[in-house]
Structure 1
Amino acid sequence: MSEKIRAERNRTLSLSQNEIPELKKKLLKLPYDLSHSKMPLEAVLNKTINGDLISVLPHLPDEFADLIIVDPPYNLSKNFNGNSFSARSEDSYDRYLSTWFPQVCRKLKQTGSLYICGDWKCTSSLQRAVQKELKILNRITWQREKGRGAKTNWKNGMEDIWFAVKNQDDYYFDVDAVKLKRRVIAPYKTDGKPKDWEQEESGNFRLTCPSNFWDDISIPFWSMPENTDHPTQKPEKLYAKLILASSRPGDVVFDPFLGSGTSSVVAKKLGRNYCGIEINEEYCMFTEKRLEKAETDKSIQGYKDGVFWERNSGA
């Protein structure tokens, strides 16, 4: 694993040769003592599991997670640091989902929530897979403002997140924790007083309830300290919304496709427990290095003083 030479202002996370041995020691790898059919919760809590999802899932305790965030390979040809995923027919992708998604759902508590990410091409497959196991409550669409242009089609600037629960009569959702702070362009007053907005030194603002369309997310890029070399890294701000809305402090957040660790890192920053599975060892080490940084730096870009700010607002 060679160290990359980066520009002076590039803050993308990297691994030095000196760090690697200690980071590897922190990873939980199979073979674990599999004389037990299930690992005890304490063995996987706040751990990064380096292994294949299909091999690991049977050994995780059932119904241990309060919240599951899933960011699977989309139905695209993509190379994840040597682990390639090839685009396939819709039927084939449906079958791929069926090999692991029902098992993932068995790890969710009866009162738990699950979010699964996708793009326009695979979102119908995701909907079919989710509705077989859970109760779908909503589909979030978020604006992915970064991406390649297209000459013969519309540029893909959106992604979806399906929101589902096991029991639609008994699940946790904290709307006050995920309100968005927006600038008021035309402040309206009643009897000379602001109506549903507040005047601050830097301007006029209103706290608004979140909708299922999010246009305030920034994709990690080279000048952001959360950025890694993972090709499809999700922003910390995006996952912070899911975690704050659908889990309490001390709850367990599980991510079966951990990637470079965003869900675990954000869970830690927000006072939750975490567990994640990732097949690529380097991405697991990215996760552990980010978790180390989260010990002293709890900041999340775009989230400050208990509220989410509009994109490019400086928060």
Structure 2
Amino acid sequence: MKKETIQLNKIYQKDAILLLRMIDNNFIDLVLTDIPYEKVNKKSNGLRNLDKGEANKKTFELRDFLVEIDRVTRGSGYIFCGKEQISEIFDYFNSKNYSVRLMIWEKTNPSPMNSKHVWLSGVESFIYFKKRGATFNEKYKNTVIKMPNGSSKIHLTQKPLKLFEYLIDVSSNKGDIVLDPCVGSGTTAVASKKKARNFIVGDINKKYCQMTEKRIKDYDIQEKLF
């Protein structure tokens, strides 16, 4: 069977692994994704443990995902993840001779959930990995990024557009290819368009693909008006 050719600036309704297998080796300049993890509840102590989509969670194999991400990446990446996944992701890319950092997004306006009983959970963790010679358009910055949470959410774990725009600015250049195989509400796609990058995005959930398509169309309409 002939391999389906990947297209730029397209939304794929596909399992993350199947989407990755469509992509050639060393094709992606920047990976920017928020992978599936479990639900939050009182037993989780308020740590980041929110559901990223039941459908994807049932089929998501982290090790297989990391192997494919490594294969397609020629630049660098950011993977937002749950606390249980941090060590495996960090250790995997470290073993492949990437420069690896544990990054922290410090929310300047954290949710007050359980705040009467315990410290506010005002941070989220993500892993940064970079091949030698990959783009890095910053200087003298540490691994903690302080930025408010978004005021409007159409997806439970949606990240602020400005946060993703910043990461895209730092780790890619105009015309580069940004990948998000677990796109959720489409923040990676919209941020890529705003920053003049190409994107390849997908999600196994049809609803999330439709959300992404709508956000891109809304952005295009806004651009034409202004």
TM-score (norm 2): 0.82
Amino acid at match of 2:169: L
1:171 matched to 2:137: no
Q: Higher strand share goes to which structure?
A: 1
Q: Distance in 2 between matches of 1:48 and 1:84?
A: 16
Q: Distance in 2 between matches of 1:159 and 1:138?
A: 14
Q: Distance in 2 between matches of 1:121 and 1:58?
A: 25
Measured after TM superposition, the shift of residue 52 of structure 1 is 1.0
1:213 matched to 2:141: no
- Aligned 8 A contact 2:51 2:157 in 1: no
Q: Which digits, 9 at most, give the CA deviation of each residue in 1:212-261, with x for residues without a partner?
A: 2122x222234xxxx31x11001111111110011110000001111111
Measured after TM superposition, the shift of residue 121 of structure 1 is 4.2
Amino acid at match of 1:46: N
Amino acid at match of 2:218: K
Q: How many residues align?
A: 211
Measured after TM superposition, the shift of residue 49 of structure 1 is 0.5
Kindly name which structure, 1 or 2, has the bigger radius of gyration based on alpha carbons: 1
Amino acid at match of 1:241: Y
Equivalent in the alignment of 1:146: 110
1:236 matched to 2:161: yes
1:97 matched to 2:62: yes
1:116 matched to 2:79: yes
For structure 1, the residue ranges without an aligned partner over 5 or more in a row are 1-34, 87-94, 177-208, 299-315
Q: Which digits, 9 at most, give the CA deviation of each residue in 1:131-172, with x for residues without a partner?
A: 2335134222111333322566533211122211222xx111
Measured after TM superposition, the shift of residue 46 of structure 1 is 0.4
Matched position secondary structure for 1:44: coil
Amino acid at match of 2:88: S
Measured after TM superposition, the shift of residue 117 of structure 1 is 1.2
Equivalent in the alignment of 2:16: 53
Amino acid at match of 1:51: K
Residue 106 of structure 1, aligned match among 71, 75, 82: 71
For structure 2, the residue ranges without an aligned partner over 5 or more in a row are 41-49
Amino acid at match of 2:151: F
Residues 150 and 124 of structure 1, relative CA distance in 2, 3 Å threshold: farther
Matched position secondary structure for 1:122: helix
Matched position secondary structure for 1:248: coil
TM-score (norm 1): 0.60
- Aligned 8 A contact 1:254 1:276 in 2: yes
Identity of aligned residues (%): 28
Q: Which structure's relative contact order is higher, taking Cα pairs within 8 Å and 6+ residues apart?
A: 2
Q: Higher helix share goes to which structure?
A: 2
